[in-house]
Amino acid sequence: MSPVNVVVGVTGGIAAYKAVGVIRSLVLAGHDVHVVATEAALRFVGKPTLEAISRNVVNTDLYEGVAEVRHVAIGQAADLIIVAPATANTIAKLAAGIADDLLGNTILASRAPIVIAPAMHTEMWQNPATVANVAVLRSRGITIIGPATGQLTGADSGPGRLEEPERIVAEALAVLRPKDFAGRRVLVSAGGTREPLDPVRYIGNRSSGKQGVALATAAAARGAVVTLIGANLEVAVPSSVTLIAVSSTLELAEATTRESAEAQLVIMAAAVADYRPEDVQPTKIKKDQQGERMTLELVRNPDVLATLAATRRAGQVIVGFAAETESDPTALLELGRAKIARKGSDYLVLNTVGWTEGFATEENTVVVVDRAGAIVMEASGSKASVADRILDVLA
C-alpha cells in the first residue's frame, strides 16, 4: 500500500498507552501519522511521547491554528481516521455529532473512512446507550474493531478490552485496500516446519511466518477467502483468515494438498525442510548413550511446491518462495531462474535471508520472477508493504 495520511485520535482511557503501538506500527509502515489527542488522553500518555512516536506535532486544542483553520484542515487532509482507544463518552459524542473538541471537529470535517477501536469496562460496553450508539456509527459506515475480551483495569475481566495494536492497524488499513481479490479462494503457507528427532528436539529453521501471515492478511483485506497453513507461527493471525496449524513438512504437504483443491491462488511462503530424520526416537535421546559424536540419517522430504505445480488444475496459479543467502543480485537471479524451472510454479519470490535479515525481522527484500525467468517486481520494506506489492502482481 502506498503511504497515506492517517489521523489517530487518542481519547481518555487507561488503554491510551496502547495507542503508542498503533502509531508506531503505522509510522514503520511508511504512513504519515498525525495525532489528535483529547485533554483527557494526555492524562494517560504524555504529549512528548506521542510526538516522538508519530514524528509530527500533536494537536489537542480546538483554538490552536485558527488562522490556518486547523480544526477543519486536519480532517480534510486525512485519508483515514483511527480512534484508539474510543471511550464510551467519545462514542456517544460521535453518534450525536457533537464537536466540542478538536477530535470531534476533525471527524465531522472529514470524508475519510473512520475506524473506531472501543475500550471501556464491560458494563459500559453492554449499556443500552453504548449499544445504540455503536449501532448508529455502524449504520453510517464506520468500522468498529473489537473490543476484545480479557483483563480490564483492576481485577475486572470481560468484553471491553482494547484490541491489540497489530490487529487495529491491519484491519484499519484493510478499509483502504482495493477489493480486487473479491470472491477468490486463496491458500497461503507460512512459518517454518520442524522435523522431530525425539519428543524433545527437532530440526528446524528461523522462519517466524511474518511474511506469509502478511500475505494472508492482505489477501483477506482485498476480498479473498483465505486459508493459511501455518507451521509453528510466531505471529498472530487475524480472524479474517482461516488457520490450519501444522508442524512438520509431511503435515504441511498433506494439508496443502487437501486445501489447494478449491483454491484459485496458492502462495507457498513457508520455509519447508528439505530433509527429515529417518528414525524418530520414541523417548529422549541421551547424550551419555551417544558418546562424543552423534550421527543422524536424514531422508528427503517430498517437494511440496513442485508437486502442487505439477498437479495444478487449469487456471490455478502457484507461487513459490525461495529463501537465499546469496548477496550478489545477478547470482541470486540465476538461482531463482534455475529453481522456477525445476519447480514449475507460475511465479517465484526470491527473498534474501541471513543472520540479520529476512527471517524473524519486520522488513523484507524480494524479487519476483515469472516462469520465463523475467523479473516482474522488486520490493523492499515492511513485510506488510511487500505483501501488497506481491498481490498487486498476482491481481
Q: Residue 282 has what pLDDT? A: 93
- Whether 2 shows a pLDDT value over 80: the answer reads no
Mean pLDDT computed over 152-173: 87
Mean pLDDT computed over 329-339: 94
Q: Which three cell numbers stand for residue 301?
A: 522430504
The model's pLDDT over 34-43, given as tens digits with 9 standing for 90+, comes to: 999 999 999 9
Each domain of the chain, given as residue ranges in start order, spans 5-174, 185-394
Residue pair 316/264 in contact (Cβ under 8 Å)? The answer is: yes
Q: Rounded to an integer, what is the distance from CA 390 to the centroid of its chain?
A: 14
The model's pLDDT over 217-234, given as tens digits with 9 standing for 90+, comes to: 999 989 999 999 999 999
* pTM of the shown model: 0.72
The model's pLDDT over 122-143, given as tens digits with 9 standing for 90+, comes to: 999 999 999 999 999 999 999 9
Mean pLDDT computed over 13-25: 94
Q: Residue 90 has what pLDDT? A: 96
Q: Residue 157 has what pLDDT? A: 80
Residue 164 DSSP SS3: coil
Q: Residue 18 has what pLDDT? A: 94
Confidence of residue 196 (pLDDT cuts 50, 70, 90): very high
Give me the CATH code for the 5-174 domain, please.
Answer: 3.40.50.1950
- Asked if domains 5-174 and 185-394 share a fold, the reply is yes
Mean pLDDT computed over 234-244: 91
Residue 92 DSSP SS3: helix
Confidence of residue 166 (pLDDT cuts 50, 70, 90): confident
Residue pair 195/273 in contact (Cβ under 8 Å)? The answer is: yes
- Whether 200 shows a pLDDT value over 70: the answer reads yes
- Whether 50 shows a pLDDT value over 90: the answer reads yes
- Whether 121 shows a pLDDT value over 70: the answer reads yes
Superfamily of domain 185-394: CoaB-like (3.40.50.10300)
Within 8 A by CB and 6+ apart from 369, the residues are: 333, 336, 337, 340, 347, 348, 350, 375, 376
Q: What percent of the chain has pLDDT over 70?
A: 99
Q: Residue 395 has what pLDDT? A: 87
Confidence of residue 67 (pLDDT cuts 50, 70, 90): low
Mean pLDDT computed over 161-165: 91
Q: What are phi and psi of 336, to 5 degrees?
A: -65, -40
- Whether 355 shows a pLDDT value over 90: the answer reads no
For 190, the enclosing helix (H) or strand (E) is strand 185-191
> Which burial class, exposed, middle or buried, applies to 300 when counting CB atoms under 10 A from its CB (0-12, 13-18, 19+)?
exposed
Q: Which three cell numbers stand for residue 197?
A: 528427532
For 221, the enclosing helix (H) or strand (E) is helix 210-221
Q: Which three cell numbers stand for residue 272?
A: 519447508
Give the residue ranges of DSSP H helices in 267-315: 287-290, 304-311
Residue pair 188/203 in contact (Cβ under 8 Å)? The answer is: no
Mean pLDDT computed over 342-355: 92
Residue pair 366/376 in contact (Cβ under 8 Å)? The answer is: no
Q: Residue 363 has what pLDDT? A: 84
- Whether 373 shows a pLDDT value over 70: the answer reads yes
Residue of 105, 205, 232, 351 with catalytic role: 205
Q: Residue 359 has what pLDDT? A: 83
Q: How many whole angstroms separate alpha carbon 335 and alpha carbon 351?
A: 11
Residue pair 160/207 in contact (Cβ under 8 Å)? The answer is: no
Confidence of residue 170 (pLDDT cuts 50, 70, 90): confident
- Which among 38, 16, 177 has a CA at the least distance from the CA of 101? 38
Q: How many whole angstroms separate alpha carbon 14 and alpha carbon 21?
A: 14
Mean pLDDT computed over 273-300: 91
Q: Residue 37 has what pLDDT? A: 95
Q: Residue 361 has what pLDDT? A: 81
Q: How many whole angstroms separate alpha carbon 373 and alpha carbon 367?
A: 11
The count of other CB atoms within 10 Å of the CB of residue 83 is: 28
Q: How many whole angstroms separate alpha carbon 132 and alpha carbon 136?
A: 6
Q: Residue 1 has what pLDDT? A: 67
- Whether 93 shows a pLDDT value over 80: the answer reads yes
Q: Is 364 noted as a catalytic residue in this protein?
A: no
Confidence of residue 290 (pLDDT cuts 50, 70, 90): confident
Residue pair 186/224 in contact (Cβ under 8 Å)? The answer is: yes
E-state strands within 197-333:
202-203, 225-231, 241-246, 265-268, 275-277, 298-300, 317-324
